[in-house]
Amino acid sequence: MLDKTMTISGIVDRMRSGMTLGIAGWGGRRKPMAIIREMLRRDELKDLTIVAYGGADVGLLASAGKIKKLVFGFVSLDAIPLEAHFRKARQAGAFEILELDEGMLQLGLKAAASRVPFLPTRVGLGTDILTHAPEIKTITSPYADGETLVAMPALKLDMAIAHVNKADKLGNSWIYGPDPFFDEWFCRAATESYLSCEELVETSEFNDPAMAVKMPIERSLVAGVAEAAGGAHPSSCAPDYGIDVAHLKDYSKTAKEGFDGYLDSFVHGQDQDSYLKAVGGIEAVRKLPLPIF
């Protein structure tokens, strides 16, 4: 049977400069941050097109100068509404952007997953999205209504990365929290998808049919799985742990005070185990209260 287990470093080894990378998760929730931190350790990895409902993943990559173009619905830390590192880079014009309505981004992923060039929608009509993104065209319905619709182009990804609660060596995965959102669509829109997980388990753990609704990512889409307890920190991974608001406040300050100290403390010369020690240990992470929305 195919064994898809690998390391976080091994996942980043599969990345290349200039690729289009989809990052699953949602703002301050279930971001594959262990993978993002490993990306920051690779000076050679750059000129990326990032597609995301962004959080600290986008902020870190922006401040590290790795983004060539950002396609996004928002960039937020949830508890902190606007990601400070993203704002600094955006105001400096550090990268190209395609700013979309959240629904448009979802439809772009679904178009790529369906292997069609676009999907029609009313979303975006009457907004400045079409003014500032002339590459997005409209189309006239071929039916009797003749309605003008937005033709949301496919957002084809070279690779997608996501963080889940549990996974097995075959690529089956389980998202137990209330926030699966669009992770499966990132994976379906990508040529290859890789997962980090809180816990690598035996396949028998997924035998309960009731678990199926918490398993949105088809294993056939998954090229590799890496165990990384606390791998979403400082974002949340419900029900295992909540958002580390104190950490994110300190991180946000470094957008003004200087980023190098943060990298020295939490990124450079470290792996996931040493990162966890730097933030108080996995038990401290698992005591972080879950957010209430």
pLDDT tens for each residue of 2-50 = 999 999 999 999 999 999 999 999 999 999 999 999 999 999 999 999 9
262 falls within a domain: yes
Confidence of residue 210 (pLDDT cuts 50, 70, 90): confident
pLDDT tens digits, residue range 96-141? 999 999 999 999 999 999 999 999 999 999 999 999 999 999 999 9
CA–CA separation, 29 vs 71, rounded Å? Answer: 18
Q: Average pLDDT of the chain?
A: 96
Torsion sign, CA atoms 281, 173, 190, 55? negative
Q: Let me know whether 172 and 85 are in one domain.
A: yes
Gap between the Cα atoms of 206 and 174, Å rounded:
8
Q: Are residues 149 and 169 in the same domain?
A: no
pLDDT(85) > 80: yes
Q: Do 89 and 211 reside in the same domain of the chain?
A: yes
Q: State pLDDT tens for residues 65-76.
A: 999 999 999 999
Estimate the crossing angle of helix 84-91 against helix 245-257, to 10 degrees: 30
- Within this chain, do residues 147 and 166 fall inside the same structural domain, yes or no? no
Q: Is 109 inside a domain boundary?
A: no
Per-residue pLDDT at 228: 98
Residues 178 and 268 in one domain: yes
**So what's the pLDDT on residue 173?**
98
Both 127 and 242 in a single domain? no
Q: Is the bond leading into 234 cis (omega within 30 degrees of zero)?
A: yes
Whether residues 87 and 178 share a domain: the answer is yes
Given pLDDT bands bounded at 50, 70 and 90, which one contains residue 291?
Answer: confident
What pLDDT is recorded for position 140? Answer: 98
Local confidence band at 222 (pLDDT 50, 70, 90 cut-offs): very high
Q: How many CB atoms lie within 10 A of CB 65?
A: 12
The CA-based dihedral angle spanning residues 63, 67, 73, 79, taken in that order and rounded to the nearest 10 degrees: -20
Would you say residue 292 lies in a domain? no
Task: Report d(CA 22, CA 154) in Å as an integer.
Answer: 13
Q: How confident is the model at residue 179 (pLDDT cuts 50, 70, 90)?
A: confident
Helices (H), the chain: 8-13, 33-40, 56-63, 84-91, 102-113, 129-132, 183-188, 245-257, 260-266, 272-278, 282-286
Between CA 149 and CA 256 the distance in angstroms is 42
Which pair of tokens denotes residue 231?
Answer: 């791998």
Mean pLDDT for 249-268 is 96
Mean pLDDT of 133-150: 97
One domain for residues 204 and 142 = no
Q: How confident is the model at residue 292 (pLDDT cuts 50, 70, 90)?
A: confident
- Across the range 144-162, mean pLDDT stands at 98
110 in a domain, yes or no?
no
Residue 111 lies in a domain: no
Taking a C-beta distance cutoff of 8 angstroms, is the pair 23, 49 a contact?
no
Residues 137 and 199 in one domain: no
DSSP state string for 217-238: S-GGGEEEEEE-TTTTTTSBBT
- Residues 197 and 124 reside in one and the same domain: no
Q: Is the pLDDT of residue 1 over 70?
A: no
65 within some domain: yes
Which of 211, 214, 171, 174 lies closest to 193 in space, CA to CA?
171
Give me the number of domains the chain comprises. Answer: 2
Q: Indicate the residue among 109, 138, 153 that finishes a domain.
A: 153
CATH of the domain at 247: 3.40.1080.10
Do 41 and 260 touch, CB atoms closer than 8 A?
A: no
3-state secondary structure of 110: helix
Helix (H) or strand (E) holding 109: helix 102-113
The domain in which residue 189 lies consists of 8-101+156-286
Whether the full predicted model's pTM is greater than 0.85, yes or no, is yes
